[in-house]
Structures are given as structure tokens and as C-alpha cells.
Amino acid sequence: MKLYEKYGDRGFTIMAVNVRDEDAKTVKRFVKEYRVTYPVLLQGRGVGKDWGVHSIPASFFVNREGRMVKKSFGFDEHHPERLEKDLQELLE
């Protein structure tokens, strides 16, 4: 969310996908509890297979032309810094 707030005015957006197919009520509760400020899409069944997701979190960078230009899977202590670096490169 910090990246969304920092770079949103430069054309960056985030869309989360609920890959567990939880109902809308459950997702709304999660969004409220964690104060998620970007769209969360429901019914992500098959998204893992369709997009080659093998671990979560999974991030896909899509450029202004709608082409996927980078993928990132998993989380470690350097994950936020790597995401921001990739995002800065994409926005340049």
C-alpha cells in the first residue's frame, strides 16, 4: 500500500486478486481490517494456473500498453525494495 500511495499519482495502480475464492463478505472484512485502499478482485479461481503463480505474494508488472513486463514471486526481507526498484524502472 505504501508503493500505491507513493506512486499512484504517476499512473501506478494495484489490483489484488483473491485466489482463495472467498466470499465477498470475507474479503470486505479483510479489506477493512487491513485498510486496503486499492481494488480487490473476487473469484480468482484458476488465476494461479493461468498466470503461473507458484507462490504468494505474486506481483505482475504490466506496462501502459497492457503487456506484462516482469513477474515477482514470494517474499523475503528485501522484497519491498526490489518491488520499488522494479516499479521505478517501469515508470521511467
pLDDT in tens, 2-51: 888 888 888 888 888 887 778 889 989 999 999 998 888 886 667 777 77
- SS3 state at 55: coil
Q: Which pLDDT belongs to residue 31?
A: 92
The pTM of the full predicted model, rounded to 2 decimals, is 0.70
Distance (Å, whole) CA 35 – CA 87 = 22
| Residue 52 grid cell | 503461473
Q: Which CATH architecture has domain 2-91?
A: 3-Layer(aba) Sandwich (3.40)
> Domains of the chain: which residue ranges?
2-91
Residue 68 near residue 60 (C-beta atoms within 8 A)? yes
DSSP element (H, E) containing 91: helix 79-91
